[in-house]
Each structure stands twice: as structure tokens, then as C-alpha cells.
């Protein structure tokens, strides 16, 4: 089995690649398949992936139709994670449209032209929601995104639905809550603060949080999101029905709750490195996000949320900091 991951140098892409290589197989509706090749495509070459003869790392634009056509030609599974994230897509409309919308369409068209109906698993986002929201959001909630990024994700979902309906791909889209704790440097995602307020203090660095402590958030751990992308491959078209979009469950809390969990894992010293200075642009975006998600669909399909923030942070320390936190 040949698997292509776009956005393969991103933190989810790299960790998904590690998981697939460790498992040595992927289970789909047609059974358990050994992984013979794994291609990682991103603007920059992926790092942190184990050396393995099955791995090919490609630096290039995931919106380049010729490049993606060459990579998709014999791919059995496409994980489409490449995206211009929320704040960046809002500030640069043309870039967001090029990568998030036209890039998704180019990739789907490349899959269609193979005539092979590859499995197509796309990262979507809770940014698809917006406007007046119910107490819980899910697949039955009307989509009214309040950012260009959210709009681009909605259109991407509809494209995957239609290409699946036509039999060009076997698609599914996973709507992600805020994923924590992201390793590495902060990025241009509005949700970046949720990782930074944990990661930076644990590494001995100060961090100024751009949203108030009472801000509610809905979180999913890196471990759980990787589990979800692997699990999504095993679902059947009958499981999914007409809509290929699945809202992943999350753990709802406030930023203050996260700070409390940070204190449990990193001690009081970690908390003293945090200060708060609300940023109007970030606050406005975050206020438009839902903070509770229905599990009416995701639960029966086998997707699971985390149980507590302390465990999410402890797993980050174990996975990314070698079990050590700054004194």
C-alpha cells in the first residue's frame, strides 16, 4: 500500500507518519494492508520521521497540480493535511484560496484522473461553524463560517462529498477541535495560543496569552487526533452515509482550567511564566468557535475524546520533552 500525506512536515503529518511506520500496516474496508511506501509532501522537507526505505520526502507545493498528479498516480490512500491556517488565511485571502480551496480541488482532480478511487482522508476544522450556535455543534448544525479559512474548509468538505458520491474517491473529512499540545514554534493558527500556554512555560520560556483566562475551548490531544486519522481509514461508505464529514469529539474547559492542569504537571514555576494580554483579532476569531460538540455521530463510529487536560499535558511531556520540564 502506498500512502501520501500532504502537509507531511506539519506536526500532525509527522506524527501520523511515525504511527503508520510503527504499525507497519493500515486497516481499510478491504482489510489489513502492509505499508510499502509512504510519501510526505510539504513546502519544506519533513524532519523527525524515522529513516526507512519506504519513506519518500518531497518538498513542494501541495497546490501544484502537476506535482500532486505525479504523487497521486499510484497512491492507495491520500491524507490531505496541507493548509494555510486560520489567521494566515484571513490576512492573505489569495494564499488561503490557492492552498485551502484550489489546492484541495487539484488534489481531488488528480485522484479522479487515476481512475483508481483512492481513499481520501481530509483534515477539516471546527471553523466551519459560526453565527448563532446551538449548545452543541455537530454534523446536523448549519454551517455559517465567520472566516475565510472556515469557508474554505466547508467548500473542501462539499468537494469531498461530491467526488465520493461520483465514485472518484472514497472520502471522509475530520473536523478537528483545537489540537494540543503542538510541538515546535507557534504558528499563525488562531488556536496556537492553546499549545503555547502549555509548551512555552514547560520549556522555561515566558508566554503572553492573547485571550482571557475565562475563554472556553474544546481540545483534542495529538495522540487522539492521530488515532482518529488511522481509525477513519477503517470506516465503510455504509458507516458514513451521504455526508463524509465527521465532527471529532473534544474536551471542553476554560483557559484557566488549562492553567490549573499546567500547574499540576509543571509546578507553580511554569504558571509564573504566563501573563495575559488579549489580542482583539485573536479574541474575535476564538469567540466565533463552538466549544461543545455532539458525539451522536462520532461516538457510534468509534471516535473518542480525551478524559482530562492533565493527561494531555503529561503525554506531551513524555512524547516531546523526554519527560523533563524546566524548573
In the chain the domains, ranked by start, together with CATH numbers, are: 2-177+220-247 (3.40.50.720), 180-218+251-291+307-320 (3.90.25.10)
Q: What is the pLDDT of residue 127?
A: 92
The pLDDT tens digits for 266-277 are 999 999 999 999
pLDDT band at 288 (very low <50, low <70, confident <90, very high): confident
* Residues marked as catalytic: 149
Q: 200 pLDDT exceeds 80?
A: yes
Lookup result for grid cell 522537507 = 45
Q: 187 pLDDT exceeds 80?
A: no
Q: What is the pLDDT of residue 289?
A: 84
Instruction: Name the burial class of residue 60, with classes exposed (0-12), middle (13-18) and buried (19+) by CB atoms within 10 angstroms of its CB.
Output: middle
Q: 251 pLDDT exceeds 80?
A: yes
Q: What is the pLDDT of residue 6?
A: 97
Distance CA(220)–CA(2), nearest Å, equals 28
Region 127-141 average pLDDT: 93
Q: What is the pLDDT of residue 286?
A: 87
Q: Give CA separation, 44 vs 8, 10, 59, 241, 321, in Å.
A: 9, 9, 5, 37, 23
**Mean of all residue pLDDT scores within the chain:** 95
Q: What is the pLDDT of residue 203?
A: 96
Angle CA 28–32–36, to nearest 5:
100
Q: What is the pLDDT of residue 311?
A: 96
Distance CA(279)–CA(301), nearest Å, equals 38
Q: 136 pLDDT exceeds 90?
A: yes
pLDDT band at 22 (very low <50, low <70, confident <90, very high): very high
Angle CA 41–237–297, to nearest 5:
95
The pLDDT tens digits for 255-268 are 999 999 999 999 99
Q: 104 pLDDT exceeds 80?
A: yes
Contacts for 12 with CB less than 8 Å, ≥ 6 apart: 81, 123, 179, 222, 225, 226, 229
Amino acid at each position: 500500500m502506498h500512502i501520501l500525506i500532504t502537509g507531511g512536515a506539519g506536526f500532525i503529518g509527522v506524527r501520523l507518519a511515525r504511527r503508520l511506520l510503527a504499525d507497519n500496516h493500515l486497516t481499510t474496508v478491504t482489510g489489513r494492508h502492509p505499508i510499502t511506501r509512504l510519501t510526505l509532501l510539504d513546502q519544506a522537507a519533513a524532519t523527525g520521521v524515522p529513516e526507512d526505505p519506504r519513506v519518500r520526502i518531497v518538498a513542494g507545493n501541495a497546490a501544484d497540480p502537476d506535482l500532486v498528479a505525479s504523487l497521486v498516480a499510484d497512491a492507495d490512500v491520500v491524507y490531505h493535511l496541507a493548509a494555510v491556517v486560520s489567521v494566515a488565511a484571513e490576512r492573505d485571502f489569495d494564499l488561503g484560496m490557492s492552498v485551502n480551496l484550489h489546492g484541495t480541488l487539484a488534489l481531488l482532480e488528480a485522484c479522479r484522473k487515476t481512475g483508481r478511487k483512492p481513499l481520501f482522508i481530509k483534515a477539516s476544522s471546527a471553523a466551519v461553524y459560526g453565527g448563532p450556535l446551538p449548545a452543541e455543534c455537530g454534523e446536523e448544525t448549519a454551517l455559517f463560517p465567520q472566516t475565510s479559512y472556515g469557508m474554505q474548509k466547508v467548500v473542501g468538505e462539499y468537494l469531498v462529498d461530491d467526488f465520493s458520491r461520483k465514485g472518484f474517491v472514497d472520502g471522509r473529512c475530520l473536523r478537528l477541535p483545537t489540537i494540543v499540545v503542538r510541538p515546535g514554534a507557534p504558528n499563525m493558527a488562531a488556536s496556537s495560543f492553546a499549545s503555547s500556554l502549555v509548551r512555552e512555560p514547560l520549556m522555561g520560556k515566558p508566554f503572553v496569552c492573547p485571550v482571557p483566562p475565562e475563554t472556553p475551548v474544546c481540545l483534542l490531544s495529538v495522540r487522539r487526533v492521530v488515532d482518529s486519522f488511522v481509525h477513519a481509514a477503517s470506516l465503510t461508505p455504509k458507516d458514513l452515509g451521504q455526508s463524509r464529514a465527521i465532527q471529532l469529539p473534544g474536551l471542553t474547559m476554560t483557559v484557566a482550567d488549562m492553567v490549573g492542569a499546567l500547574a499540576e504537571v509543571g509546578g507553580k514555576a511554569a504558571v509564573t511564566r504566563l501573563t495575559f494580554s488579549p489580542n482583539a483579532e485573536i479574541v474575535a476569531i476564538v469567540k466565533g468557535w463552538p466549544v461543545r460538540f455532539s458525539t451522536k455521530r462520532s461516538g457510534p463510529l468509534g471516535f473518542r475524546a480525551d478524559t482530562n487536560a492533565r493527561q494531555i499535558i503529561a503525554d506531551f511531556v513524555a512524547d516531546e520533552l523526554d519527560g523533563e520540564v524546566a524548573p
